[in-house]
């Protein structure tokens, strides 16, 4: 099977490179940073972030980042019936209702930092008919198949999830997003995330599988075996990034990958979150080489696969707080620092202005 353009009609064909931010602007941002009224390099990583903000905005000095929009894609995972999570599947739908009520962890952080949160059901097992139909507008299927036994999605479902992810990015960009956040919700989702990372990097399950919501040692051994079984089942079909998503992902992870690829193609920067968001980013980089230049890593989660994938993408996390929540929470927590970095580059005095 190949990943022809027909599998993602609203995205450029898989493998189409993403243009990097304008090197002249990167240079201009570095030059301005070097001229600020600080000792050379004194802003540390905030200085690097400031250059990224300016480069991805295409403006030196950068504009204040006012419109930050987080999208939380929700879905269930067939593997969660096979002992891979410390929590039951019923949590997924309950948490979607909690996002809608504005009471999830990410909702609280987002309110604090003026970030909008949009939650969408891409593949939750419950029908969630009590919620606003807009939440279910892009639903691809109820749940996904257990990846160690079967492909997560049919080819048609994968195609739809890919189109939907790109469409959601387009909608958020049209709504004026200057910065996007990719979040996720779904019990069991750290298992397909680990599988996507292992398959993308050619690593064994053992290297990337973590405890997720907190499985014990026996649970971790079992979860690792499930991820390895999934990798062995799919074999070299995973050489193709679209098949990787279809066979080892889920509707929400597939849509996350194309959401990210689309944002990068459109030149809109994104803050990545934990292992699910970063697994999707790794596949987005395969779909759209160069996409990672448009991403910043919000935080380092405790999942080993996330750290490995971030390194591969060349991204160093803004925060390292031992968080392992997902939902976009670690990304939203980093937003104030990203905003501050841009403002420093825009509003600080230049050393040349201080001295006669």
Ligand X SMILES: Cc1cc2ncn([C@H]3O[C@H](COP(=O)(O)O)[C@@H](O)[C@H]3O)c2cc1C
Ligand Y SMILES: O=C(O)c1cccnc1
Is residue 252 part of the contact set for ligand X (CB under 6 A)? no
| Segment interacting with ligand X, rule: CB under 6 A, options 45-53, 58-66, 127-135, 180-188 | 180-188
Binders of ligand X among residues 196 to 235 (CB under 6 A) are: 212-213
The CA dihedral of 330, 121, 243, 148, to the nearest 10 degrees, is 80
Residue number, 188 or 241, with CB nearest to ligand Y = 188
Peptide bond just before 112 cis, omega within 30 deg: no
Instruction: Choose among ligand X, ligand Y, none what residue 186 binds, the Cβ cut-off being 5 to 8 Å by kind.
Output: ligand X
Structure tokens at 341: 């970095």
**206 assigned to active site:** no
Residue 327 in the binding site for ligand X (CB under 6 A): yes
Q: Is 99 helix (H, G, I), strand (E, B) or coil?
A: helix
d(CA 192, CA 351): 50
Single out the catalytic residue among 125, 126, 303, 327: 327
Q: Which residue's CB atom is positioned nearest to ligand Y?
A: 274
Residues that bind ligand Y (CB under 6 A): 190, 212-213, 273-276, 301, 303, 306, 324-326
Helix (H) or strand (E) holding 115: strand 115-123
87 lines the binding site for ligand X (CB under 6 A): yes
Chain position carrying tokens 């200085």: 47
**Residue 186 is a binding residue for ligand X (CB under 6 A):** yes
For residue 312, count other CB atoms closer than 10 A to its CB. Answer: 17
**Cβ neighbours of residue 305 closer than 8 Å, sequence gap 6 or more:** 193, 194, 197, 198, 207, 208, 209, 210, 275, 278, 279
Q: From the CB of 65, what's the least distance to ligand X, in Å?
A: 25
Q: What residue 301 binds from ligand X, ligand Y, none (CB within 5 to 8 A, per partner kind)?
A: ligand Y
Minimum gap (Å) between residue 29 Cβ and ligand Y: 30
Backbone Cα Rg of the chain: 20
Which residues 141-170 are close enough to bind ligand X by CB under 6 A? none
**342 belongs to the binding site for ligand X (CB under 6 A):** no
Task: Say how far apart CA 321 and CA 243 lie, in whole Å.
Answer: 34
Q: Which 8-state DSSP code applies to residue 302?
A: S
Residue ranges that bind ligand X, judged by CB under 6 A: 85-87, 91, 95, 184-191, 212-213, 325-327
- Residues serving a catalytic function are 327
């Amino acid at each position: 099977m190949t990943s022809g353009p027909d599998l993602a009609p609203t995205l450029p064909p898989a493998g189409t490179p993403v243009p990097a931010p304008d090197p002249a602007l990167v240079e201009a941002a570095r030059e301005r940073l070097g001229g600020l009224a600080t000792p050379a390099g004194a802003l540390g990583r905030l200085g690097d972030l400031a250059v990224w903000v300016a480069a991805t905005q295409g403006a030196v000095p950068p504009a204040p980042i006012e419109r930050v929009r987080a999208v939380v894609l929700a879905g269930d995972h067939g593997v969660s019936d096979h002992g891979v999570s410390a929590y039951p599947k019923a949590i997924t739908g309950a948490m979607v209702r909690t996002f809608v009520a504005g009471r999830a962890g990410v909702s609280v952080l987002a309110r604090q930092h003026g970030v909008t949160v949009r939650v969408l059901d891409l593949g939750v097992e419950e029908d969630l008919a009590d919620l606003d139909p807009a939440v279910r507008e892009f639903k691809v299927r109820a749940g996904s198949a257990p990846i160690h036994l079967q492909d997560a999605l049919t080819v048609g479902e994968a195609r739809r999830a890919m189109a939907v992810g790109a469409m959601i990015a387009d909608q958020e960009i049209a709504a004026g997003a200057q910065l996007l956040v990719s979040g996720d919700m779904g019990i069991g989702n750290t298992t397909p995330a680990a599988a996507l990372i292992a398959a993308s990097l050619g690593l064994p399950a053992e290297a990337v599988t973590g405890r997720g919501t907190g499985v014990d040692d026996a649970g971790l051994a079992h979860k690792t075996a499930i991820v390895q079984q999934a990798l062995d089942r799919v074999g070299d079909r995973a050489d193709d990034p679209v098949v990787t998503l279809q066979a080892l992902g889920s509707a929400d992870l597939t849509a996350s990958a194309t959401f990210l690829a689309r944002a990068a193609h459109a030149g809109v920067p994104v803050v990545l979150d934990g292992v699910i968001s970063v697994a999707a980013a790794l596949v987005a980089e395969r779909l759209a080489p160069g996409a990672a230049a448009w991403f910043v890593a919000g935080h380092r989660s405790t999942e080993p696969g996330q750290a490995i994938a971030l390194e591969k993408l060349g991204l160093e996390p803004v925060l390292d707080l031992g968080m392992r929540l997902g939902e976009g929470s670690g990304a939203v927590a980093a937003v104030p620092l990203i905003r501050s970095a841009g403002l420093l580059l825009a509003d600080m005095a230049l050393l040349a202005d201080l001295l006669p």
